[in-house]
């Protein structure tokens, strides 16, 4: 009898996806993958709380991904944006030519 109640009270995945909102859809996809890989019921409950607070607008996406990172296998830690340094091809060629000239004379 108690086992039947436990099965009925099992945690179910939230179905609140909004495909028209790209940011929310990406967050829901990440939540869904983490929920599918979660092993314990406590983790699933916590994931549901995180997703529910995002859907109601109580938390930002940065906070959401920060809390979700504990349950994701792909990423160990979410640090936010990283800066990608770019360089023009002409500048790169000049710096490489300068390095090559220096290395020839240092031998």
52-103: pLDDT as tens digits = 999 999 999 999 998 998 888 765 555 667 777 788 889 989 999 999 999 8
Residue 10 lies in a domain: no
Tokens 């959401």 appear where?
64
Give residue 47's domain range. Answer: 21-80
Residue 30 lies in a domain: yes
| 3 confidence band (pLDDT: 50, 70, 90) | very low
Count the domains in the chain.
1
Residue 98 lies in a domain: no
pLDDT of residue 107: 63
Contact 38/68 with Cβ under 8 angstroms? Answer: no
Residue 73 lies in a domain: yes
C-alpha torsion 68→74→76→81, nearest 10: -80
pLDDT of residue 76: 54
Residue 8 lies in a domain: no
Residue 44 lies in a domain: yes
Is pTM, for the whole model, over 0.75? Answer: no
Question: How far is it, in rounded angstroms, from Cα 56 to Cα 61?
Answer: 12
Residue 34 lies in a domain: yes
Residue 74 lies in a domain: yes
């Amino acid at each position: 009898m108690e086992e039947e109640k436990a099965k009925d009270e099992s945690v179910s995945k939230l179905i609140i996806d909004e495909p028209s909102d790209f940011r929310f859809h990406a967050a829901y996809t990440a939540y869904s993958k983490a929920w599918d890989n979660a092993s314990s019921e406590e983790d699933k409950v916590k994931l549901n709380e995180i997703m529910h607070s995002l859907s109601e607008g109580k938390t930002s996406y940065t906070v959401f991904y920060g809390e979700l990172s504990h349950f994701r296998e792909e990423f160990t830690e979410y640090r936010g944006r990283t800066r990608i340094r770019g360089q023009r091809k002409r500048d790169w060629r000049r710096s490489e030519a300068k390095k090559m000239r220096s290395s020839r004379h240092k031998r």
